[in-house]
Amino acid sequence: MLVNGIKMLQDAKKGKYAVPQFNINNLEWTKYILEECNSNNVPVILGVSEGAGKYMGGFKVVAKMVEGLMEELNINIDVCLHLDHGSSFEVCKRAIDSGFTSVMIDASKYELEENMRITKEVVDYAHERGVSVEAEVGHIGGSEDGVSNEVYHATVEDCVSLSMTGIDSIAPALGSVHGLYKGLPNLNFERMQIINETLAIPLVLHGGTGIPDADIKRAISCGISKININTELQIAWHNAVVEFVLNNKDVYDPRKVIGSGQDAMKKAISDKIKLFFNR
Ligand code: 13P
């Protein structure tokens, strides 16, 4: 069923596991993610960045595509359709009005007061419509969809203040980066644990690509209930497609070219499921 993210993340916080957010970029990826999560019987969050939403033809197309795939493929698990890093109230409103069940408002580039003001506006609009809200504080580093950031760790006080807006989950920047890490990630586990013990809402870890398994497990034990993965799926798919194209230069059917990344992507998804759900 298409659901918001509230219960699935609260269950994860209680059960000490993490729900994956896999970012989608096209119909094929959405299909692979839905099929693999359904066959493992785990809930999933489909993350859609503003850029990916535009690429797929707009939020309405994405929502209808997800609804259609779920029906045609007999998907029985809980699926949350989530806007990733919504940059303004207007963008979040468009996603909500198009049928998204969850949004992230990322006003972390503003001072805390302005971040809180924009986040509260989104919370009020979303909650009236049964849609869940994630917000960010501090700066997650790296770059995603051409948007770059320096790392700046969230403080416990800032997390408490942002949570007062009524958000359903929070992404405190604690050293993770989007895309590939330069060197090894250095996550602030101590602060993660304190924030988790201080707040009732679930914590989200962005920049899941490239974090060693042991650190992922530790993050989950410190209270992380949702982990976002984008680049790792892109790399798994890309490597398989490059190999296929180099070995099959005369194949031009796009279904075969795009589909040659299916097994590698499903394997990457299934590896993350084992790790995040402690299987
Ligand atoms: P990665 O691309 O590093 O996996 O990060 C994904 C993410 O955090 C999306 O918001």
Note the pLDDT tens digit of each residue in 6-26: 999 999 999 999 999 999 999
Whole-number pLDDT of residue 163: 98
The DSSP code for 144 is E
Pocket test of ligand 1: the residue of 25, 106, 176, 228 to mutate, having most ligand atoms within 8 Å of its CB, is 228
Using DSSP's 3-state secondary structure scheme, residue 26 falls into coil
Report, as an integer, the average pLDDT of 235-239. 98
Q: Probe ligand 1: pick from 187, 229, 237, max atoms within 8 Å of CB?
A: 229
Token pair for residue 66? 């997800």
Q: Is residue 251 part of a domain?
A: no
Higher pLDDT, 185 or 52: 52
pLDDT tens by residue, 77-88: 999 999 999 999
Q: Is residue 221 part of a domain?
A: yes
- Give domain status of residue 52, yes or no: yes
- Looking up residue 220, the CATH number of its domain turns out to be 3.20.20.70
pLDDT at position 71 is: 98
Residue 120 reports pLDDT greater than 80:
yes
Distance (angstroms) between ligand 1 centre and the Cα of 86 equals: 14
Distance 49 CA to ligand 1 centre (A): 10
| Residue ranges around ligand 1 (CB below 6 Å) | 23, 47, 84-85, 144, 178-179, 206-209, 228-232
State the Cα–Cα distance between residues 89 and 127, nearest whole angstrom: 13
SS3 labels along 222-245 = CCEEEEEECHHHHHHHHHHHHHHH
In the predicted structure, residue 148 carries a pLDDT above the cut 80: no
Structural domain contains residue 248 = no
Confirm whether 275 is domain-assigned.
Answer: no
pLDDT in tens, 25-49: 999 999 999 999 999 999 999 999 9
Total number of domains constituting the chain = 1
Question: Is residue 243 one of the residues assigned to a domain?
Answer: no
End-to-end CA distance of the chain: 23
Q: Are 139 and 150 in contact (CB under 8 A)?
A: yes
Residue 270: Cβ-neighbour burial (10 angstroms; 0-12, 13-18, 19+): middle
β-pair type (147-149, 132-137): unpaired
Task: Tell whether 245 is covered by a domain.
Answer: no
Q: Work out the burial of residue 87: count CB atoms within 10 Å of its CB; fewer than 13 is exposed, 13-18 middle, 19 or more buried.
A: middle
Provide, rounded to the nearest whole percent, the portion of the chain with pLDDT above 90.
90
Q: Which atom of ligand 1 is nearest to the CA of 208?
A: 4
Domain span including residue 90? 6-231
Region of residue 141 (left: phi > 0; alpha: psi -120 to 50; beta: else): beta
Tell me the average pLDDT of the chain. 96
> Is 267 part of any domain?
no
pTM: 0.96
